[in-house]
Amino acid sequence: MQNHPLVIAHRGARKYVPENTIPAMEQSALLKADGVEFDVQMTRDGALVVCHNYLVDKTSNGHGRIADMTFQELRELDFGDGVKIPTVDEVLLAARNMRVINMEIKRPPVAVRREMVGKCVDAIRKFHLEKKIIVSSFDYPVIDEVKRIAPDIPCGLLYSVHHSGEKGMSRGRYIRQAVSHKAEYLHPTYNYALSPIYRLRCRLHHIGINCWGITGDKEMRILTKLPVNAVITDCLVY
């Protein structure tokens, strides 16, 4: 592990420009972030686009669910300041020179899970990013599918304090989950990483910690002094 955690820009530099867009990725580099995190979804016609919410209502001038829309319909929308929704290829191209890239695959319908994961893996391989990418998801069957077709691509299990029981992540079971899903990383909300016992258990099992949910400068200053792999944060200037 490096001396200080890597700083990963959550949805890009979202405090300064529209989140999950090409400008957000470019601004992250200008602010000296070590990497970027972004969210992947699939359109009705099978295109991979980058957006956090399942509905476009909050982040664009449009309405509707990404999975029900075509790529062309989405591309016609304004996602802030005249910016268009990017494809996964466009984001990977923009972020390819950063130290680390965190691709979060949003929960897909079961019927298209294999197709979506396969396309994500193809995009990673297209840009030869296997050694700097981390694929994460709250949907652990997605991680299983990544490992089935691309065991060399590092993965992280996402979870938060709000659903630790649901995912079996309480009372030390997070180690068993990581082992079971062959994940190299755990991606918990930062409150877990504050625990020395949590960090010790992960270190003993060679599981990295990339924590998230850091939105305040105070928390950021604390987290960047802890022995974790990375912090996924909105705070790039603190």
CB atoms near residue 78 (< 10 Å): 14
Cα–Cα distance for residue pair 20/11, rounded to 1 Å: 5
The separation between CA 148 and the C-alpha centre of its own chain, rounded to angstroms, equals 20
Beta strands in 84-141 (DSSP E): 100-105, 133-137
With both helix axes pointing from N to C terminus, report the angle between 88-95 and 22-30 in degrees, rounded to the nearest 10.
10
Going by DSSP bridges, is the β-strand pair 100-105/48-50 parallel, antiparallel, or unpaired?
unpaired
Q: Which residue in 2, 10, 3 sits closest to 211, CA to CA?
A: 10
Query: Of the candidates 224, 178, 6, 20, which has an alpha carbon nearest to the alpha carbon of residue 100?
Result: 6
Catalytic residue among 52, 162, 187, 205: 52
Dihedral, 185, 190, 196, 199 alpha carbons, nearest 10: 0
Task: Judge whether 206 counts as a catalytic residue.
Answer: no
Catalytic residue among 4, 10, 187, 206: 10
Distance CA 87, CA 94 (A): 11
Rounded Cα gap, residues 238 and 228, in angstroms: 18
Residue 10 appears among annotated catalytic residues: yes
Q: Whole-angstrom Cα distance, residue 90 to residue 237?
A: 25
Return the active site residues.
10, 52
